[in-house]
Amino acid sequence: MENQHSSDTLAYLSGFGNHLSSEAIAGALPESQNSPLICPFGLYAEQISGTSFTAPRKLNQRSWLYRIKPSVTHEPFKPRVPCHGKLVSEFNNSNSRATPTQLRWRPVEFPQLQTDFIDGLFTVCGAGSSYLRHGYAIHMYAANKSMENSAFCNADGDFLVVPQEGKLWITTECGRLQVSPGEVVVLPQGFRFVVSLPDGPSRGYVAEIFGTHFQLPDLGPIGSNGLAGPRDFLVPTAWFEERTCSDFTIVQKFGGELFTAKQNFSPFNVVAWHGNYVPYKYDLARFCPYNTVLIDHGDPSINTVLTAPTDKPGVALLDFVIFPPRWLVAEHTFRPPYYHRNCMSEFMGLIYGGYEAKADGFLPGGASLHSCMTPHGPDTKTFEATVALGNEVGPRKITNTMAFMFESSLIPRVCQWALESRYLDDDYYQCWIGLRSHFTHEYGDEMNLQNEQNASGTNTEL
Ligand SMILES: [Fe+2]
């Protein structure tokens, strides 16, 4: 597939959640109806539904694909041999563990063996169940080889892919996307796609959500602009190949297991499509961050790019939040993130640069997990250095940084292999253990006086 992506100037359509149309051949879209008896150029009409047929109109997502042969034209699915073994879509004590401990992983090395995106993908943690349509999985990937003569299809949920190193060229049924580190791509449930690696070794992060789709967050008092702008979300344009293959394999992830089916043609045979259920990408450099302009550190929700909601207002199944370059200007304020405990669980990654709350140890390609009510915050070095700067630090710009967070109201269980990984930083807790008391009140003297009064019965208060 690589040479089919030789241009850096792929055309995209623009706009989040739009109802879009695209034709690789003019006239390939039927006019005024979706499923005529005979479609233009003898194409088959096929709908892909991303929500139930009866979902409210504002949430309803579906697209119509006009293709040379329908996607049903394949041999029966069979369990893939070998099975994958490190993908989880239903988290329980047979495949994952509960732990409140702060966890941090060093960046994984690239594989030595030939490994494509599918085999390089492994689940780190998650909650809930793809079968029950509620939950999420957080994966990472490290690969060094393009997928060949096969396409991946995730029946379990939507993938939000965050490349950290190495460009991805992704061919989907709606067209082709080029996704570089610093960009993210959403591959919705059910679409078939191929991941090619033009730069060779690649790695990154994937959030998978079950039973819902990403939305742009409400902006509340911010107003009608800011954060991620709808027009900066880019959707591919129709592209097709009429390619007969003796042995093309569809690899379908279904309930966390992989199944394969053979067919004798490329699935990227969609000549035209229309609808609002589509893959899309977004360049994080386009994000318009908002921040405090006088005092205190704002909650990280101010930097939400995309949110996958639950039925509870304001409670996310999964928020995708970034910490991009920005000015820090707050007066007499501890500017890094505050120490805190959170009923939400926080998985963090770093795409490039450093992160403002960790002087060292949190590296590009690495990850951390602070689960529900597990305390966390700036490491000792960051705290001491920040306080040492004093109140007259003045405006300062954080540059060369792009950290992100997947934040969820569901408490993740952590996969056994992630807990036993050689990349797990066993000394993570050490980054806070040196935080010393700065308490200056002469508390000891007062307590001694009070104890003496209690002993002599002179203190009549309760
Ligand atoms: Fe946090």
CATH assignment at residue 301: 2.60.120.10
Q: Is the pLDDT of residue 453 over 80?
A: no
Ligand 1 midpoint to CA 454 (Å): 42
Distances (CA, A) of 243 to 174, 219, 238: 16, 46, 16
Q: What is the mean pLDDT of residues 212-228?
A: 97
From the list 376, 324, 305, 312, the residue with the least C-alpha distance to 347 is: 376
Clarify whether residues 224 and 294 are in a common domain: no
Q: Say how far apart CA 202 and CA 239 lie, in whole Å.
A: 25
297 is catalytic: yes
Within 13 Å, how many C-alpha atoms sit on residue 51's CB side?
Answer: 17
Range of the domain at 27: 2-284
Consult the annotation and say whether 66 binds a ligand: no
150-154 and 244-254 as β-strands: parallel, antiparallel, unpaired?
parallel
Please indicate, yes or no, if residue 94 is contained in any of the structural domains.
yes
Clarify whether residues 258 and 307 are in a common domain: no
CB atoms within 10 A of CB 288: 12
pLDDT tens for 261-319 read: 999 999 999 999 999 999 999 999 999 999 999 999 999 999 999 999 999 999 999 99
Are 249 and 25 contacting, i.e. CB atoms less than 8 angstroms apart?
Answer: no
Consult the annotation and say whether 340 binds a ligand: yes
Please indicate, yes or no, if residue 458 is contained in any of the structural domains.
no
Q: What is the pLDDT of residue 163?
A: 98
- Any bridge partners for residue 347, and if so which? 369, 406
Q: Say how far apart CA 16 and CA 2 lie, in whole Å.
A: 28
Lookup: tokens for 290: 């908002």
What secondary structure letter does DSSP report for 117? T
Q: Is the pLDDT of residue 166 over 80?
A: yes
Are 322 and 286 contacting, i.e. CB atoms less than 8 angstroms apart?
Answer: no
Clarify whether residues 315 and 231 are in a common domain: no
Which distant-in-sequence residues (6+ apart) come within 8 Å of 375 by Cβ? 102, 339, 340, 341
Burial of 315 per CB tally in 10 Å (0-12, 13-18, 19+): middle
Domain count, the chain: 2
Give the end of a domain, one of 261, 284, 307.
Answer: 284
Q: Say how far apart CA 206 and CA 217 lie, in whole Å.
A: 20
Q: Is the pLDDT of residue 222 over 70?
A: yes
Lookup: tokens for 457: 């019965």
pLDDT tens for 78-91 read: 999 999 999 999 99
Phi, psi of 315 (to 5 degrees): -110, 115
Ligand 1 midpoint to CA 410 (Å): 15
Please indicate, yes or no, if residue 358 is contained in any of the structural domains.
yes
Give the end of a domain, one of 254, 284, 314.
Answer: 284
Clarify whether residues 279 and 327 are in a common domain: no
Which distant-in-sequence residues (6+ apart) come within 8 Å of 65 by Cβ? 45, 46, 47, 48, 173, 174, 270, 273
Q: Say how far apart CA 152 and CA 172 lie, in whole Å.
A: 10
Q: What is the mean pLDDT of residues 318-323?
A: 98
Please indicate, yes or no, if residue 278 is contained in any of the structural domains.
yes
Please indicate, yes or no, if residue 193 is contained in any of the structural domains.
yes
Instruction: With H, G, I as helix, E, B as strand and everything else as coil, classify residue 389.
Output: helix
Clarify whether residues 35 and 113 are in a common domain: yes
Clarify whether residues 257 and 304 are in a common domain: no
Give the end of a domain, one of 284, 302, 317.
Answer: 284
Distance from CA of residue 201 to its chain's centroid? Answer: 20
Q: Looking at this protein, which amino acid is placed at residue 221?
A: P
Predicted structure pTM score: 0.94
Clarify whether residues 233 and 128 are in a common domain: yes
Q: Is the pLDDT of residue 461 over 50?
A: no
Clarify whether residues 265 and 294 are in a common domain: no
Clarify whether residues 133 and 161 are in a common domain: yes
Ligand 1 midpoint to CA 377 (Å): 7
Q: What is the pLDDT of residue 460?
A: 40
Please indicate, yes or no, if residue 308 is contained in any of the structural domains.
yes
pLDDT tens for 107-145 read: 999 999 999 999 999 999 999 999 999 999 999 999 999
Q: Is the pLDDT of residue 416 over 80?
A: yes
Q: How confident is the model at residue 444 (pLDDT cuts 50, 70, 90)?
A: low
Per-residue exposure over 109-125, b if at least 16 CB sit within 10 Å of its own CB, e if not? ebbeeebbbbbbbbbbb
Clarify whether residues 198 and 277 are in a common domain: yes
Q: What is the pLDDT of residue 9?
A: 80
pLDDT higher for 220 or 4?
220
Q: Say how far apart CA 178 and CA 198 lie, in whole Å.
A: 10
Clarify whether residues 128 and 245 are in a common domain: yes
Q: Is the pLDDT of residue 5 over 90?
A: no
3-state SS track over 327-358: EECCCCCCCCCCCECCCCEEEEEEEEECECCE
Catalytic entry in 19, 213, 297, 370: 297
Ligand 1 midpoint to CA 326 (Å): 19
Please indicate, yes or no, if residue 177 is contained in any of the structural domains.
yes
Clarify whether residues 313 and 205 are in a common domain: no
Instruction: With H, G, I as helix, E, B as strand and everything else as coil, classify residue 287.
Output: coil
Please indicate, yes or no, if residue 107 is contained in any of the structural domains.
yes
Ligand 1 midpoint to CA 407 (Å): 9
